[in-house]
Amino acid sequence: MSGFTLPSATLLAQSVLSGVFVGALYGLLGLGLSLSWGLLRLINLAHFAFAFLAAYLCYQMAQMGVDPLLSLGLIVPLFFAIGAALHAAMMRFRITPFNSLLLTFGLTGIVEALIQTIWTADYRKLESSYGEHNFKLAGLYVPLPELITLALAVSLSFAVWAVLRYTDLGKALRASAEDSAVAAAFGINERRNALLLAGTCSALASIAGVCLALGFTLAPSQIYAWIGVVFAAVMLGGLGRALAPLIAGIVIGVSEAVTMAVTAPSWAPLVSFTLLIAILLFRPGRAA
Amino acid sequence: MNQGVAAVSMASAAEAREPSRWRVPLAIVAAGAALAFVPALGLPAFYDSLLYLILHWIVLATSWNILSGYTGYFSFGHGAFFGAGIYTSATLMARWNWPFLWTLPVAAAVACVLGVVVGAIVFRVKGIRGEVFALLTLAVTFVLGTIIVNTPIDGGNGVSLAAVPIPKIGPTPSSTFYLLALIAATLTLLVAWAIAVSKLGAGLFAIHDDEDAAEVMGVPTYRYKLIALAISCALAGVAGGIHALFLNYVTVGEVFTITVPLTVVLMSVLGGTRHWAGPAVGAVAITLLLYSFTAANYAVAGKAMIGVILIAAILFMPDGILPRLQRLWQRRRGDRPAAVLARAPLPTMPAHASAATVGGVLLQARGLAKSFRGVKALAGVDVEVRRGEILGLLGPNGSGKSTFINLVSGHFLPTGGSVVFEGHELAGRAAHRIARAGISRTYQIPRPFAHQTVLDNVALAAMFGGGIATPAAARREAMSWLVFAGLQDKALDRPDALNLHQRKFLELARALASRPRLVLLDEVLCGLTPSEIDDAVALVRRIRDQGSTVVFVEHVMRAVLALTDRVVVFDHGELLAEGLAAEVMRRPEVMHAYLGQADDTESGRA
């Protein structure tokens, strides 16, 4: 409880930088969540469980000597299939948005138990060669794993944005989200597109998971630690928009980091959740 | 009338279906009293603690259900209100040396005030429902937790209550906690039951199904949600206060989590959210299940099991265990309860008005206007409705007819103008107050409350718009309106068992059950077959004959000519013509508005 202490310019700049890095991960985690909520009308809490499962798989493969980024070659298709299968089941039972929240929470509990059974509740940290390649730029410490996360988050967000905006598939997806009956009347194969999108969303979750493994210590209970702040980023950005989670994530990340530097780390959650409350109160239509 | 007798007997049957009024509360109290003797059995302390936990979750889940289950506003903020109770109690005991029992009412009050403050803000914003409400309340939990951990209330180290004496209510400390939780659970179940069978409960269930329609029918939705939230929070606060001392050491990390709301949601969804006892059933099941796993050191398997159960419940029992059991039970006893004969009261005419007194102005709209972001749906119209008449409201699609009805009934707020009804200004009033003032309406697309019987749908309007105090009296009133609309045989069915024609008549019965002086009918005939239209025309005439003034929007000209005393014609949001139907429809400007400009273009070409 030190109250306000003005940090030095370097410390502040370092905080902003680390805020950008962690914000990029918020954005990457939020990307798939926002797409599935906005375009499929499903709130997938299991998104976080998938990310952690991917992170643990990446960790396991790294233990066996596989480079974390190479492990993406196996992890991404695997999670694409898992996501598509989950969505097929949800469509089969005609799950409402609210029930999808409860159902995927149940799934999260199962995945958490699975992780805990295989890898125990202990903290695990992936030791990769990337962690050793850190450098200083203009007096600021730049960790390579976080830089990789930022690069992946930015490039994937732009890729999704371009697909949604310029391709027929993207236009079809947006049309289905707006009015599925009319879209279907125009010959859009909604079912196939939805499965494709759901698969993509969980593939994005798994990529975020690999980034998570690169930069953070893993524990099964940590799954829940990310939910609140990532939801805040998703809602702040607006649903179903590709670039919004990244921008909102970085805004939240930076404001958290500065809050931590100026006051105490324990105040950080106040920033994201107050932002979330304010958005929900003033722009409730964003989520509707 | 034979029909009437049979019908009213069914209304009595519907009442008879609910067991006599005091059986349920007596059973709750008796169960509570019997369980109070458990400590006398001298079981090991560990059983007291297990039973304590079951009762603790019964209180939390049942209190959550009072707002969230009944109205469908799923709160994920129950941890915040529970936590407010915990920290209030803990602070009073540890810092101010208050005796434990005295902290409980304060814990309830603090949680209640917190809930009312949150609700007063959140419920004011339209569109905060479902996921948004869930996330918002969850965020409140984390904000509150962050504030507490960073202020001297907690200070980041938690609050220890090791030095606080435990009052000697039971023979041992663990039995004391058990007895306290037992009292709280009994109280909570009584409250949950009392609300479910009261007028408040009827209003809350209506909010669950269709909040806008409930408001238009006279339910003060904002106030009811706030009352439900206040009660829900106060009970959670008591549970928190007791739990503070039970835990002996409280930390923010364990209190303000997502675990409490998710557990109570799980318990309630599993047990059944539309029944007062559903959450209690779920709480017993889940607590025992979790316990059997932790006891055998399979906590991880327990976690997975909870997930599996939640998924299975949502997929295969979306209504919960209790409603499923109830349905099985009813099927075994035979579908319908036996009919009981009773007198047949047909709707009597309201004393204040009858068809004879045509003439005086009942409602006067002046300069009534509504714009949607610059689009003028209604550009300032003057309309006068005279007592006892049937006024037709005509005009092409998009001319502002439905907007007029939506403004007068309070569904929309007008952007300008005034509506004076029986000398009172209505413009800007909440819809439920307009309903109580004596105006009711139907929707073009019927909006029945999907989870309630046809009878209860109508009873709700009688209760709120018509100011009847008890559900039982409202059902008697409702039954006579079902007879009036010819729906008596469907009284105990759900609305989804009705065809369109019957749904339209249900809308009419609902609109009439509040005994309005003015009924606004929005295209009741649209989509009906010619013979159904004849029935409906006869019914509208009977509505006027029993004393209500009628404004009706209609495209079916045959019905307009047969029914109306006068018509007004709207076009592009403005008043185009007014007068007798047969005369007005012959005016060239009206024919233009309806049939377009074919004559003009032809003459222009010539």
Mean pLDDT of all residues in B444-460: 91
Nearest to A226, CA basis, from A25, A80, A86, A78: A25
Cβ contacts (< 8 Å) between A276 and chain B: which residues?
135-136, 139
Query: What is the DSSP pairing of strand B249-250 with strand B159-160?
Result: antiparallel
Q: What is the rounded average pLDDT for all residues in chain B?
A: 85
Q: Which of A92-106, A155-169, B327-341, B435-449 has the lowest mean pLDDT?
A: B327-341
Q: What is the pLDDT at residue B326?
A: 82
Q: How far is B262 from chain A (nearest CA, A)?
A: 9
CA distance A87 to B309: 19
Q: What is the pLDDT at residue A284?
A: 63
Band (pLDDT 50/70/90 cuts) for residue B308 is confident
Band (pLDDT 50/70/90 cuts) for residue B500 is confident
* Residue of A277, A281, A282 for testing the chain B interface, max B β-carbons within 10 Å: A277
| Joined tokens for residue B515 | 């005994």
Name the residue among A107, A227, A267 with its Cβ closest to that of B311: A107
Nearest to A12, CA basis, from A282, A216, A259, A274: A259
Nearest to A153, CA basis, from A28, A26, A19: A28
Mean pLDDT of all residues in B91-101: 92
Cβ distance A273 to B301 less than 8 Å, yes or no, reads no
**Is residue A3 domain-resident?**
no
Mean pLDDT of all residues in B546-555: 87
Cβ contacts (< 8 Å) between A97 and chain B: which residues?
130-131
Nearest to B66, CA basis, from B237, B271, B231: B231
pLDDT single digits (tens) A167-201:
888 888 888 887 878 888 888 888 888 899 999 99
DSSP state of B498: S
Closest Cα in chain A to B301: A113
Nearest to A284, CA basis, from B197, B126, B512, B590: B126
Nearest to B586, CA basis, from B549, B554, B561, B552: B561
CA distance B279 to B435: 34
Domain ranges of chain B: 18-257, 356-438+516-606, 446-515
Judged by a CB distance cut-off of 8 A, whether residue A235 touches chain B is yes
CA distance B83 to B260: 10
pLDDT single digits (tens) B217-237:
999 999 999 999 999 999 999
Q: Which of A45-49, B109-113, B484-488 has the lowest mean pLDDT?
A: B484-488
pLDDT single digits (tens) B25-62:
999 999 999 999 888 888 888 888 899 999 999 999 99
Confidence check: pLDDT of A205 > 60: yes
What length is written for chain B?
606
Structural domains counted in chain A: 1
Tell me which residues of chain B, numbers 154 to 173, contact chain A at a CB-CB cutoff of 8 Å: 155-156
Confidence check: pLDDT of B6 > 70: no
Q: Which residues contact B98 (CB under 8 A, 6 or more apart)?
A: B92
* Residue of A98, A279, A283 for testing the chain B interface, max B β-carbons within 10 Å: A98
**Is residue A4 domain-resident?**
no
Band (pLDDT 50/70/90 cuts) for residue A238 is confident
Furthest CA-CA distance within chain A: 63
Q: Are A95 and B313 in contact (CB under 8 A)?
A: no
Name the residue among B135, B142, B266 with its Cβ closest to that of A269: B142
CA distance B300 to B237: 30
Band (pLDDT 50/70/90 cuts) for residue A51 is very high
In this structure, which topology does domain B356-438+516-606 adopt according to CATH? Rossmann fold (3.40.50)
Confidence check: pLDDT of A97 > 80: no
Structural domain range at position A58: 9-286
Q: What is the pLDDT at residue B419?
A: 92
CA distance A223 to A99: 20
Degrees to nearest 5, angle at CA B468 with B492 and B349: 90
Mean pLDDT of all residues in A75-83: 95
Band (pLDDT 50/70/90 cuts) for residue A227 is confident
Cβ distance B303 to A99 less than 8 Å, yes or no, reads no
Cβ contacts (< 8 Å) between A116 and chain B: which residues?
300, 303
* Residue of A105, A122, A262 for testing the chain B interface, max B β-carbons within 10 Å: A105
CA distance B420 to B400: 19
A223-256 burial by CB neighbour count: b if 16+ within 10 A, else e? bbebbbbbbbbbbbbbbbbbbbbbbbbbbbbbbb
Q: How far is B315 from chain A (nearest CA, A)?
A: 7
Judged by a CB distance cut-off of 8 A, whether residue A265 touches chain B is no
Tell me which residues of chain B, numbers 268 to 307, contact chain A at a CB-CB cutoff of 8 Å: 269, 300-301, 303-304, 306-307
Q: How far is B269 from chain A (nearest CA, A)?
A: 9
Distance spanning both ends of chain B, measured CA to CA: 66
No. of H helices and E strands in chain A? 11, 2
Name residue, tokens 């009292």: B183
Which residues on neighbouring strands pair with residue B393, listed in sequence order? B553, B568
CA distance B199 to B460: 8
Judged by a CB distance cut-off of 8 A, whether residue A81 touches chain B is no
Judged by a CB distance cut-off of 8 A, whether residue A278 touches chain B is no
Q: What is the pLDDT at residue B455?
A: 92
CA distance B487 to B497: 12
Which residues on neighbouring strands pair with residue B440, listed in sequence order? B519
Band (pLDDT 50/70/90 cuts) for residue B341 is very low
Cβ contacts (< 8 Å) between A274 and chain B: which residues?
139, 143
Tell me which residues of chain A, numbers 125 to 164, contact chain B at a CB-CB cutoff of 8 Å: none
B61-100 burial by CB neighbour count: b if 16+ within 10 A, else e? bbbbbbbbbbbbbbbbbbbbbbbbbbbbbbbbbbeeeeeb
Mean pLDDT of all residues in A55-62: 93
Name the residue among B139, B142, B300 with its Cβ closest to that of A113: B300
Q: Which residues contact B235 (CB under 8 A, 6 or more apart)?
A: B59, B62, B63, B66, B108, B184, B187, B188, B191
Judged by a CB distance cut-off of 8 A, whether residue A287 touches chain B is yes
Question: Would you call A179 exposed, middle or buried from its count of C-beta atoms within 10 A (0-12, 13-18, 19+)?
Answer: exposed
Judged by a CB distance cut-off of 8 A, whether residue B356 touches chain A is no
Closest Cα in chain A to B264: A102
Judged by a CB distance cut-off of 8 A, whether residue B150 touches chain A is yes
Amino acid (one-letter) located at B354: S
The CATH number covering residue A231 comes to 1.10.3470
**Is residue A2 domain-resident?**
no
Of B260 and B231, the structure prediction assigns the larger pLDDT to: B231
Cβ distance B145 to A274 less than 8 Å, yes or no, reads no
Dihedral sign, CA of B386, B387, B389, B393?
positive
Band (pLDDT 50/70/90 cuts) for residue B339 is very low
Judged by a CB distance cut-off of 8 A, whether residue B125 touches chain A is yes
pLDDT single digits (tens) B353-384:
444 455 788 999 998 988 888 788 888 889 99
Band (pLDDT 50/70/90 cuts) for residue B352 is very low
**Is residue A244 domain-resident?**
yes
Band (pLDDT 50/70/90 cuts) for residue B603 is very low
Confidence check: pLDDT of B349 > 70: no
Question: Would you call A184 exposed, middle or buried from its count of C-beta atoms within 10 A (0-12, 13-18, 19+)?
Answer: middle
Choose the most confident range, by mean pLDDT, from A217-226, B18-27, B325-334.
A217-226
Confidence check: pLDDT of B3 > 90: no
User: What proportion of chain B, given as a percentage, has pLDDT over 70?
Assistant: 89
| Number of other residues whose CB lies within 10 A of the CB of residue B343 | 10
CA dihedral A88, A90, A92, A97 (to 10 degrees): -140
Q: Are B145 and B255 in contact (CB under 8 A)?
A: yes
Mean pLDDT of all residues in A110-114: 91
Band (pLDDT 50/70/90 cuts) for residue B246 is very high
Closest Cα in chain B to A228: B139
